[in-house]
Amino acid sequence: MKLGVFMSDFKTGSDVLNRLSAEKLGIILVGNGIYHATVKDTGKASSILDKSANFYVLAEDLESRGFNSSNVDSRVKVVTYGDVVDLMFNDYEKVIWI
């Protein structure tokens, strides 16, 4: 399946994400999920970025928390709400929120 996952938290949900498998996987970092794209804990980027997937982060949620695209890990693409709608309808058949 082509699965889009909204990742909305920083501390929980990785266990669920790690087990998911999909032919095509997109991970959209929203809400406090944006810290996965921006924060290094003792120098190390979030382990979820090691998953084989396309990564996106919502610009509005990034900016609200004091970050901008220059803080974002190179594996992650910054997107807007409009882009998210297109991803949902064009790139993924199923979408979940964790």
Partner 1 sequence: MGKLTIGCFSSLVGSLSLDFAVKLSEAAVKKGHSVDFWVSSNATMLSKKGQRAFKDYSALAKTLQELFATGKFQATACEACAEARGYGKEDTMEGWKRHSMDWYLASTFSADRVLLIGGD
Partner 2 sequence: MATRRLAFVIRSLPYKTEASRLALTHAIASQTVEIYLEDGDLVEPVVCFIGDGVMNCLKNQQAMKNYGLTSIEQHMKNSLLLDLKVLICKEDLDKFGIKEDALIMDAEDIGGETKAQIVPYSEIQKEMEAVDHLQFF
Note the residues at the interface with partner 2 (CB under 8 A). 1, 3, 8-11, 15-16, 19, 21, 31-32, 35, 39-43, 60-61, 63-68, 94-98
Q: Give yes or no for residue 63 binding partner 1 (CB under 8 A).
A: no
Q: Pick one of partner 2, partner 1, none as the site partner of residue 68 (Cβ within 5 to 8 A by kind).
A: partner 2
Q: Pick one of partner 2, partner 1, none as the site partner of residue 63 (Cβ within 5 to 8 A by kind).
A: partner 2
Q: How far is CA 93 from CA 1, 23, 49, 84, 90, in A?
A: 7, 11, 22, 13, 8
Q: Any idea of the CA torsion for 82, 49, 71, 32, to the nearest 10 degrees?
A: 60
